[in-house]
Amino acid sequence: MTQDRTHTCGELRLSHVGQKVRLAGFLENMREVGQNFAFVVLRDFYGTTQIVVEDAELFRRFKELNKESAVAVTGTVRERASKNPKQATGDIEVVPETLEVLGRCRHGELPFEINRSTQADEALRLKYRYLDLRNPAVKENILLRCRVVSALRRAMEGEGFVEITTPILTVSSPEGARDYLVPSRKHPGKFYALPQAPQQFKQLLMTAGFDRYFQIAPCFRDEDARGDRSPGEFYQLDMEMAFAGQEDVFAVLERVLPPIFAEYGAYSAASSAPFARIPYTEAMEKYGSDKPDLRIDLTVQDATALLAGCGFGPFEGNTVKAIVVTDFSGTRKQIDGLCAEVEVQSGEKAYWFRYDENGEIVGGIAKFVQPLKEQLVSALGLTKGCFVGLAAGKKGAAQKTAGVLRNKLGNFCPNHMDREKYEFCWIVDFPMYEIGEESGELEFCHNPFSMPNGGLEVLQKAATGEVDPLTITAFQYDLVCNGVELSSGAVRNHDPEIMIEAFQLVGLGEADVKAKFPAMYNAFTYGAPPHAGIAPGVDRMVMLLAGTESIREIIPFPMNKNAQDLMMGAPGTVEQKQLDELHIACTATEEE
C-alpha cells in the first residue's frame, strides 16, 4: 500500500488542470446532489479540496464512510464551473478514479462538528483534543505558537545568546509556588522537584562564565488556573546576561519583541523602544494596578482630602480614588452592571455620580457630594457630561478597586481605549520588603535574590534603624503588555555579603541561606559576575498575539481548570507495586 501524495489539499490551482494527482486527508463532508453524484470535501493539514464523485461505485464507497475517515484519492484536476473565491483551491476540483481508505472513522456521530469545535463544551474539546485540533481555526493557534517560538529563537541567537537546557529533575525550592514532587526510588524518603523556573541554574551558568544564556524553558507549578495561566506546566523565554544590568535586559527585549508582535499579532502596531518605564508606586497611584493597560487613556485621581468628610459612610476614614470619564453615554442599567462586575472582581463596591450637561451632580451618591460641586469641578477637572467612578477603602484596597474600575470603564468606552495595538511598559522599582498579611512580620516582597537599590549600604542602614526597610526598592521589573504581565525579572544579588544582609532583615541568618540555597551561595563565593535576567511567558505572549482570552486555546494539549488532562486521564492511579518501589503509602484518595 502506498500513501505517497503528489500534492496537498491546499496546493492545487488552475495551472494543475489536466494533471493526475493523488491527495490524502480527512473526509470532511459529503453532499449528495443527485443519483451517484456528490461533492466531497477532503481536508488535510494544508487546506481543503473539492472532490466531485460521478462514478456509481465510488459514490457507494464514499457514502459508506463516516466523516473524518482518513482516505487517499487519485484523480484528475479540472476547472470548476462554479468557483469559490473564499477557498484557496476554489478554482479547481478533482474527479476521482480510485479511493483508498487509510484510516476508517468507526463513529457515525462525532462528539462535535469539527469546524465548529470552538462552540462545543470545553470538557468535550479537551477530552477529544485530537479532533478539536483538526479544526483549522484551532490548529492555526498552534501553528502561530510554532512560528513565534521559532522567531524568538532566531532573535535571541541574533543577540548573541546561546541556548542551553537545564535539568527537569532538581531539588525542591523553599520559595515561590507549590512544587510538583517526584519520589526517588534509589533514595527512599527523598524527592526531586520539577523546576518552577530554571532560576538557580541560569544564575549558576552566569557564574560559570556563559555570558548570554536563553532557552524556551518548561516550568512546573502546582497552582490554580485562571484565564491567563495554565495549571501545571507552562513555557517561558528564559534569559540571563552576565556583566549586565537592568537597562541591558530592557534593551534586548525592546529589540526582540516589537518586530515579533508587529508581524505575528492580531494587531499590526506595537510599542517601539524605549518602552515606558513606570515606578511601582506611580503605577498603583495612577492606574490602580502594577500591570496597567496603557491602551486606556483613563487615570486614577486621589480624592481622599476632598471626599473623606462628605458624610458618605464608606468614605469616612478611608482612601478615596476617582476616575473621570468624559463623553460618557452609559445608561443606569449599564452603570449598575459595571459596578457589579467590579465588585465581583475586586471584592469591593464601586460608587459613582455624573456631572450632567446642565452642570448638575446627579445619580449614584450625588446627594452626598452635591454640596462640594465647585470643589469637585475644580479638583477633578470635570466638564459637562462627565461620569465619575469612585473606590474607597484602605489604600491598597482602594487602589485595586480603582484599577479594576478603570479597566471596566476603558473597555466600555471605545473613545477611551485604542484596542488595535500592543502597548508595552516596564514596571520598575518594586518594594524589596513588605509586612506579611499572615505573619505581620517583615518579608521579602518578591524575589529575595534581587539587588536592592542602594546595595549593602541601604541594608546596613535598615538594620540599624536609620532607614525604614519598607522604603527600600529593588532592581526588580515586570514587563507588561495590554494589561497582561508577560514577565518578571531582576538584577540579581550576586554578592554573598549583600545577600546575607538582605536575609538578616527578615530574620534569616547566613546558616539559613547556606542551607536553603547551597549551590548558589557557594558559587557566588568563587567570584560571580554581576548579572540580570527575565523570562517572558511564551504561553501568555502567544495568547496576546492570537487575540484570545483563554490561554488553553494556544496550548496543544492543555489541562482543564482543575489541573486534569481529560484526554489522557491524568492524574491517575498507579499500581501498588509502583508505590512500594518508591516507599510511598497513600493516606487519602480522591472520592469518586
Q: Tens of pLDDT along 66-93? A: 999 999 999 999 999 999 999 999 999 9
Q: What is the mean pLDDT of the chain?
A: 94
Residue type, 432: M
Q: How confident is the model at residue 224 (pLDDT cuts 50, 70, 90)?
A: confident
Q: How confident is the model at residue 308 (pLDDT cuts 50, 70, 90)?
A: confident
Give pTM, 2 decimals: 0.91
Least confident of 174-178, 201-205, 354-358, 586-590: 174-178
Burial annotation 77-94 (CB, 10 A radius, 16+ → b, else e)? beebeeeeeebbbbbbbb
**Cβ 479 vs Cβ 253: under 8 Å:** yes
**Cβ 203 vs Cβ 520: under 8 Å:** yes
Cα three-residue angle 222-224-229, rounded to 5 degrees: 100
Is the pLDDT confidence value at 175 over 80?
Answer: no
Which residues are CB-neighbours of 108 under 8 A, at least 6 positions away? 66
End-to-end Cα, the chain, rounded Å: 47
Joined together, the cell numbers standing for residue 20 give 493526475
Is the pLDDT confidence value at 568 over 80?
Answer: yes
Q: What is the pLDDT of residue 229?
A: 77
Q: How confident is the model at residue 227 (pLDDT cuts 50, 70, 90)?
A: low
Is the pLDDT confidence value at 225 over 80?
Answer: no
Joined together, the cell numbers standing for residue 549 give 482570552
How far apart are alpha carbons 213 and 203 in whole angstroms? 10
Q: What is the pLDDT of residue 12?
A: 97
Which residues are CB-neighbours of 371 under 8 A, at least 6 positions away? 310
**Cβ 427 vs Cβ 283: under 8 Å:** yes
Q: What is the pLDDT of residue 592?
A: 46
Burial annotation 28-54 (CB, 10 A radius, 16+ → b, else e)? bbbeeeeeeebebbbbbeebbbbbbbe
Closest CA to 170 of 242, 230, 220, 210: 220
How far apart are alpha carbons 104 and 27 in whole angstroms? 10
How far apart are alpha carbons 473 and 542 in whole angstroms? 31
Half-sphere exposure of 400 (CA within 13 A, CB side): 12
Mean pLDDT, residues 506-514: 88
Mean pLDDT, residues 232-242: 96
Q: What is the pLDDT of residue 92?
A: 98
Is the pLDDT confidence value at 1 over 50?
Answer: no
Domains of the chain: 14-103 (2.40.50.140), 296-417 (3.30.1360.30), 431-473+495-528 (no CATH)
CA distances 242 to 134, 199, 282, 356, 496, Å, are: 44, 14, 30, 58, 17
Q: Give 397-449 as a DSSP string.
A: HHHHHHHHHHHHHHHH-GGGB--SSB-EEEEE--BSEEE-TTT-SEEESS-TT
Q: What is the pLDDT of residue 369?
A: 94
Q: How confident is the model at residue 17 (pLDDT cuts 50, 70, 90)?
A: very high
Closest CA to 254 of 162, 160, 164, 159: 159
Is the pLDDT confidence value at 591 over 90?
Answer: no
Least confident of 4-13, 221-230, 393-402: 221-230
The position carrying cell 532583615 is 505
